[in-house]
Amino acid sequence: MSVSPNNSEPHEVPQPPLNLDVSMPELTRALLDYESVSGNERTIADAVHTALSFCPHLHLTRDGDAIIARTEFPPLPGAEGESAKGERTRIILAGHLDTVPLPTVEGSLGTVPATVREEDGHSVLYGRGATDMKGGVAVQLKLASELTAQDTDYNLTYIFYDNEEVASELSGLARLIRNHGELITDADFGVLLEPTNGTIEGGCNGTMRFFVRTRGLAAHSGRAWRGENAIHALAPALAALASYEPKTISVEGLDYREGLNAVQISGGVAGNVIPDAAAMHVNYRFAPDKTLDEAIAHVREVFAGYELDFVDLSPAARPGLDTPLAASLIEAVGQEPQPKYGWTDVARLSEIGIPAVNFGPGDALLAHTDSEHVSFSQLTRCHADLRAWLLSDRDED
């Protein structure tokens, strides 16, 4: 019960459609029942925003289908003068609301609504996004509803965003940083709840995609000597890839495996025409010892003499493990950190000066598969580990 603003008779407060008081598996299952393929996140964003609006300790900002929920707890007693502002340390917990498209295989277990199965004595939740990353979002939501100024010594910024699974220019997190940077850049550390099998994964490889383009001269294939074959001109570039030996590079104690691979080849207009243009689509995954400019310089060297057309450039992120906050999280989780091979949004946080790590429930190897699933125990453990970490500085009476 609560009293209405005009001090009239008490009235019932309606319950939010998304109940944050249920167990971690129940909350994850509720999120899975929202279809939220990239570009279609409105319904789940509405549900998340409504649920968080019932938490009086949170200050909400919404931008399209992305939401920032911040605590603004007062300084701890005696904290004045301990830092420039005398404020609590601020930590970001971030995750995306969108998924890749639904499974195409009829009868797949990755469908909506979600399903529960018992496997080897363990309860397992199947559904699109179970791994990537509605389990992690459920952990965020649970912590956001639970942790008040009486529970934690930190201030917390929870970020829920759209369009992570599509082209980087559509990224909801990038949009939030552009439009509401002041609500994000004041953080001291970040945790992105991407699936890591419950192990901390530091930083991430960078990624770039580009086309190696060749030009030729069209001619009738019956008189091929009158033309110049653009597809044949790709042969040295393919040979360079075939002989390329990707490196494994140690950065701050973690070993990052690189990769340089052709992912598509296109060219030609008909079976009797010498092609006058061809393109090879290449993906380069590079370790966080390189800046974006250094990675670009490297592929220009590999494909010297070729025209390169860059279509996607995403920097790497260093591990982010060399801070006291990372050390305390590692201690709370109790497992040896690993490198993140795929690209994640820790790179966006790193770019704006916030060290961040990946840590979330679910096996990343199951992400985007038609049997995507997460165990109940992983969901519960991830929530417990993060909660214990965020409570770790609380003095006992």
For 290-302, the pLDDT digits (tens) are 999 999 999 999 9
The identity of residue 68, as a single letter, is I
Binned at pLDDT 50, 70 and 90, residue 317 comes out as very high
Give the Å distances, CA to CA, from 197 to 18, 335, 371, 385.
26, 11, 16, 13
Closest by CA to 197, choosing from 367, 23, 28, 344, is 367
The identity of residue 144, as a single letter, is A
Higher-pLDDT residue of 361 and 80 is: 361
Mean pLDDT of 58-80: 90
Residues marked active site are found at 98, 164
Give the Å distances, CA to CA, from 340 to 34, 41, 59, 201, 330.
28, 26, 32, 5, 15
For residue 118, pLDDT beyond 90: no
What local confidence, expressed as pLDDT, does residue 323 receive?
A: 92
Structure tokens given for 258: 């690189």
Dihedral (Cα; 50, 55, 60, 66), 10-degree rounding = -50
**Nearby residues of 187 by Cβ (< 8 Å), 6 or more positions away:** 90, 91, 92, 157, 349, 354
What local confidence, expressed as pLDDT, does residue 84 receive?
A: 41
For the chain, give the mean pLDDT: 91
Binned at pLDDT 50, 70 and 90, residue 86 comes out as low
Higher-pLDDT residue of 77 and 20 is: 20
Cα(383)–Cα(146) distance, integer angstroms? 11
Q: Are 188 and 320 in contact (CB under 8 A)?
A: no
Run of H or E including 217: none
What local confidence, expressed as pLDDT, does residue 396 receive?
A: 46
For residue 15, pLDDT beyond 80: no
Closest by CA to 343, choosing from 93, 229, 221, 173, is 173
Sign of CA dihedral 214, 217, 222, 223: negative
Reported as a single tens digit per residue, the pLDDT across 318-375 is 998 989 999 999 999 999 999 999 899 999 999 999 999 999 999 999 999 999 999 9
Of 69-78, 142-151, 252-261, the one with minimum mean pLDDT is 69-78
Q: How, if at all, do strands 338-339 and 277-286 pair?
A: unpaired
Mean pLDDT of 22-39: 96
For residue 267, pLDDT beyond 50: yes
